[in-house]
Amino acid sequence: GANTRMKKMEPFRSLYEHKNHKPFVFGKVVRVRGPRALILTPYNTKVIIDVSEIPQPVPLQTGTVVRAIGEWEDDIFYSQHILVR
């Protein structure tokens, strides 16, 4: 949508950048609701990840450790690749 296009434009990019800036997150799954999971990072930060963009189903379960690569959009991390341990 419009937000996706605007965050790629130089004058607006800083308004859309997440405080984390990193293209990855990792941590332990605390709660799962549909394609989204709340994970707790090793730094005790809570992060919501969304795995709906991954082509194959991902078995997210409470207590599993995940490493995800993707992009931030607002406060949600949209995972494009994920490793579940």
pLDDT value at position 14? 53
CA dist 69 to 60, 78, 82, Å? 15, 8, 6
Nearest CA to 29 out of 68, 78, 74 is that of 68
pLDDT value at position 55? 83
Q: Report how far residue 16's alpha carbon sits from residue 34's, in angstroms, rounded to the nearest whole number.
A: 25
In order along its 85 residues, the chain shows pLDDT tens digits of 776 776 677 666 555 554 566 899 999 999 999 999 999 999 899 999 999 988 887 878 999 999 999 999 989 999 999 998 8
User: For residues 17, 52, 82 and 50, what is the CA-based torsion angle, rounded to 10 degrees?
Assistant: 50
Structure tokens at 63: 């207590």
pLDDT value at position 26? 94
